[in-house]
Chain A
């Protein structure tokens, strides 16, 4: 019996330690990943892209900027066709690097030298295509190149989330006949002496960029903000769940330890009577807990680390960030010690309290708890058919503080499971349903605006209009990218993200901005949006309203097409096509030919990232379910342990297994029913809104579970309860009645 109790305690400790280790691995890996990657890669403070220019011209302008520590120039080719190991891509990015600091880390092999035929590939690409060092990469126009190294740079996410990236040496390319190397550059990296001066440098850079076309700035701090938003969701989820798991384990272990001390009160009384000190008795109890906690915490910590290290490393690879490696040892050690210290203290504290009682009272079988011996609430047992079930509930209700603590921790776990389901639904919806983003068109067609009337005439097409989209930056804060979208008429026919404040735009001088952009730039209805367009022209509009949009992290602006085209007549255009309800999208797509493409969800290009997130969420939900099950089993076992004599009396009176199961069912129901209510309330009123705001402060992410999801979680709780009741009842009825009758 005691061995089984120890085993149950060990399982709880192992589970909590596993959760803590998993949280540490993911939180440390993702939370500090960017800084680690930036440090390893020697990431530049400012990255500038522009239309190709002579290197000397660009260098002169950069040298004129204040506080420059160093800079390097590159030619970045996009749309390069590459292939290896049966894989190929037509949209790779080839970075032709020259002298100076690189801005990327070599994580395998070596960097490109001046020799021809060498290439360094991004680690994410190497991983996805299984490219090995010394292997061959085919590059269109250059032929087979030998892969000499793997690189990593956090200035962008990795393949397949972004275009594949490779690095070539300018000197090496110059030695390849017919390589067609452009002597100009279009990419500059700038390192500052004091990165805090980045805004002053950007203002100056904007002034000196006169004559350069297509200038776009990205800063190290801007990159960090973007990446942290994605990682932050996962980190916060895991940290919160770990806290819940630890709290659950602590409450259950504390209760278990208290029950154990209650069982040993006479023994403690004897030892006090023969002169043992309180500290000695508490230490003895603590040491006993240590023998259980140390191996359990070790197993849990190792299991949690192993379970999450690989998925986290994969996620970090996608984000172009290095694995944490030995940096994890210190926080993991701290987590391991906490996993041991909590149960040891939970065991020592009730022993310390008990040892403080009068030894005579202990020898006479005093209760650890002072006060009324009855408890049990005010409701009557009654002579009705539900008698044993109600008795079970009353046995649990007799320990009110315990019941409240257990119901709250179980409720928190339930709330988390609901949250996971709601989040998974939201992710699935964002991935597959453009409508979830407020998009009302189903197709786009790469056709000029002049074809609008022809497309509208296609049967089944409800509406069609030109859609213009380009990348701009904020005129005042140049490192803030803005996705500018324009329609000639009412954009809500095609895209209607929910309005969170203000009004829809009217006329040619108003715009709607995403909440993410509004938050980043401090915009609100009535303020002025100033967008620097790729042409160098500035578009100034009054903000009419703020909309909730997940596209581009909410850094989006809907502007009138007339105002946009006046400043940038060459803005990228396509036709947005809205299909009548019931009409065949695929038929219309076929009629439009290869110019048509389905409208995409926010994450359609980031499917691997979403998949990884969903995998982590699923793992969290499974672990959370196990935490629930553990809490229920532990709570049931505690009831039996504390009420061992009551159970034995019932059995002596003729109660069989069925009656004990009814008793336990009532006890577990008294715990689970309030926990379920607490869980639903916590999710709907606290966790859902909090995470919705945390996950996307730039948009309203609905994280309310559906009634079906709630029903599923309640069914899961019922199953867990049934498992707990059956298991514990089986254990209880295996003990001899006589031994239980003598229990204190």
Chain B
């Protein structure tokens, strides 16, 4: 279990999304992939969003993290309205409140593992103490021996664990993971999912098409025809998984 020192977990939603609509493409190729999506995610909750390829899962994740803007609807992150904010304000929100984990890791090749983890802490406006948190996260994830290596010298699982450490370094309230096990084998995938499950006190949203990822979630939602639909089954399975842990 990673000690994130977030203090008392409150039931107030870290993330609230209401009536999110998004159309991608243009002209005849235009397609509405999100059509009135509502979603609340509380601190300490892991939510898995499942859907077929092209269903709009990644688009939803980008909107929730302020990487893209919805056509309509509103998103409130950590008590602040994201929609309508300037690019600068969105960047500041991502820096302080959101940690991203990507399918293809997105580590910077020129930097070592440690430097990649510490990178968000070095950005202007980052909270103090990032460097110390980076070292601690690397140690807690068992990556100390690998931290000096460049990404291409590491396995996929090691790279993804570094990416998760990077997502956590600024102590965000929300972690958004886009197909975090998509490029990993089964063992590494399981290790990464376990790690995401262990992020106590944070809101975690995982979008995936893999049922294994859903198994660790508190709540599983399906994205169909641009709308989110609840699925109770995997949630029970997740609860069982936690109890057995």
A, B in one complex:
yes
Q: Which residues of A contact B (CB under 8 A)?
A: 373-376, 380-383, 385, 387-388, 391, 394-395, 398, 645-646, 649-659, 662, 733, 736-738, 741
Residues of chain A within 8 A of B92, CB atoms compared: 654, 656
Contact across chains for B68 and A736 when beta carbons are under 8 A apart: yes
Q: How far is the CB of A35 from chain B (nearest CB, A)?
A: 58
Q: Evaluate whether A645 and B106 lie within 8 angstroms (CB atoms) in the complex, with A651-B91, A653-B123 already known.
A: yes
Q: Which residue of B lies closest to A373 (CB)?
A: B152
A738 touches B110 (CB 8 A): no
Cβ 8 A contact of A737, one of B68, B119, B125: B68
- Distance (whole angstroms) from the CB of B148 to the closest CB of chain A: 9
* Residue of A373, A382, A653 touching B100 (CB-CB under 8 A): A653
Chain B 78-110 near chain A by CB (<8 Å), digits 1 or 0: 000000000110011111101010100010111
Contact status of A653 and B88, CB under 8 A, knowing A381-B112, A659-B123, A741-B106? no
Given contact pairs A374-B152, A375-B109, A653-B123, enumerate 10 new A-B contacts (beta carbons under 8 Å). A373-B109, A373-B152, A375-B110, A385-B122, A391-B108, A395-B110, A651-B91, A653-B100, A653-B166, A654-B120
Tell me if A391 and B110 are in contact (CB < 8 A): yes
* Given A653-B123, A654-B96, A656-B125, residue A383 in contact with residue B109 (CB < 8 A): no
Query: A649: nearest residue on chain B (CB-CB)?
Result: B106
Which residue of the partner chain, among A380, A391, A656, A733, contacts B124 with CB atoms under 8 Å?
A656
- Given A383-B122, A387-B122: A653 and B150 within 8 A (CB)? no
Residues of A within 8 A of B203 (CB): none
A646–B122 touching, CB < 8 Å: no
- Write out the residue numbers on chain B whose beta carbons fall within 8 Å of the beta carbon of A736: 67-68
Q: Report whether B62 and A738 are in contact in the complex, using a CB–CB cutoff of 8 Å.
A: yes
Interface residues of B in 117-163 (CB under 8 A from A): 118-120, 122-126, 131, 134, 150, 152
Q: How many A-B residue pairs have CB under 8 A?
A: 97
What 4 A-B pairs have minimum CB-CB distances, sorted nearest first? A654-B95, A376-B110, A656-B91, A387-B122
Contact of A652 among B67, B87, B124 (CB under 8 A): B67
- Tell whether B74 is near chain A: CB-to-CB under 8 Å: no
The residue of chain B having its C-beta at the shortest distance from the C-beta of A375 within the complex is: B110
Residue B241 is within 8 A (CB to CB) of chain A in the complex: no
Chain A residue, CB-CB nearest to B97: A654
Contact yes or no, B118 A654, CB < 8 A? no
Asked whether any CB of chain A lies closer than 8 Å to the CB of B170, the reply is: yes
Contact A653 B94 (CB under 8 A): yes
Which A residues are in CB contact (< 8 Å) with B6? none
User: Chain A nearest CB: distance from B172 CB in Å?
Assistant: 9
Give the distance to chain A from B86, nearest Cβ to Cβ, in Å: 10
Contact B102 A741 (CB under 8 A): yes
Chain A nearest CB, measured from B54 CB (Å): 14
Q: In whole angstroms, what is the CA distance A445 to B105 when docked?
A: 87
Given A652-B67, A653-B100, A659-B124, answer yes or no on A374-B110 (Cβ-Cβ < 8 Å). yes
7 residue pairs bridging A and B, Cβ less than 8 Å apart: A374-B150, A374-B152, A381-B115, A652-B67, A659-B124, A662-B124, A737-B67
* Chain B, interface residues (CB within 8 Å), range: 35 or more
Nearest-CB residue, chain A, relative to B176: A652
Closest A residue to B58 by CB, please name it: A738
Contact (A391, B111) CB under 8 Å given A654-B95, A655-B123, A656-B88:
yes
Q: Shortest CB–CB separation between residue A184 and chain B, in angstroms?
A: 87
Q: Which of A376, A657, A662 contacts B88 (CB 8 A)?
A: A657
Assuming the contacts A388-B123, A394-B110, A395-B110, asked whether A383 and B96 have C-beta atoms less than 8 A apart, the reply is no
- How far does the Cβ of A603 sit from chain B's closest Cβ, in whole Å? 55
Alpha-carbon separation in the docked complex, A737 to B122 (Å): 19
Docked-complex contact A653 and B119, CB < 8 angstroms: yes
Minimum CB–CB distance from B136 to chain A (whole Å) comes to 13
B158 to A: closest C-beta gap in Å: 16
A655, B91: Cβ atoms closer than 8 Å: yes
A654 touching B125 by the CB < 8 A rule?
Answer: yes
B131 close to A383 (CB less than 8 A): yes
Q: Hey, which chain B residues are within 8 Å of A391, CB to CB?
A: 108, 110-111
Q: How far is the CB of A9 from chain B (nearest CB, A)?
A: 26
Q: Which of A385, A387, A388, A654 has the most CB of B within 10 A?
A: A654
Considering the chains assembled together, what is the distance between the CA atoms of A382 and B118 in angstroms? 9
Q: Which residue of B lies closest to A655 (CB)?
A: B123
Chain B proximity of A1: nearest CB distance (Å): 15
Residues from chain B with a CB closer than 8 A to the CB of A387 are 119, 122
Question: Does B123 contact A650, Cβ atoms closer than 8 Å?
Answer: yes
Which chain A residues lie closer than 8 Å to B87 at the CB level?
656-657, 733
Q: A376-B110, A738-B62 given as contacts; is B91 within 8 A of A654 (CB)?
A: yes
Q: A571 vs B128: C-alpha distance in the bound complex, in angstroms?
A: 88
Q: How far is the CA of A387 from the CA of B121 in the complex (A)?
A: 10
Contact of B108 among A383, A646, A737, A738 (CB under 8 A): A646
Which residue, of B65, B91, B119, has the highest number of chain A Cβ atoms within 10 A?
B91
Contacts of A374 on B, CB cut-off 8 Å?
A: 109-110, 150, 152
Tell me, in angstroms, the Cα distance from A104 to B87 when the chains sit together.
73
B110: A residues at CB distance < 8 A: 374-376, 381, 391, 394-395, 398
Nearest residue, chain B, Cβ from A652: B100
A736 to B59 alpha-carbon distance, docked (Å): 13
Closest chain A residue to B100, Cβ basis: A652
Which residues of chain B have C-beta atoms less than 8 A from A649's C-beta? 106, 108
Chain A hits for B112, CB < 8 A: 380-381
Q: How far is the CA of A383 from the CA of B118 in the complex (A)?
A: 7
Q: Is B68 in contact with A738, judged by CB distance below 8 angstroms?
A: yes
B108 contact set on A, CB distance < 8 A: 391, 646, 649
For the complex, what is the distance from the CA of A603 to the CA of B62, rounded to whole Å? 70
Q: What is the bound-complex CA distance between A397 and B2, given in angstroms? A: 37
In the complex, what residues of B have CB within 8 A of residue A380's CB?
A: 112, 115
B166 / chain A contacts, CB cutoff of 8 Å: 653
Q: Which residues of B contact A645 (CB under 8 A)?
A: 106
- Give Cα A654 to B112, complex, Å: 20
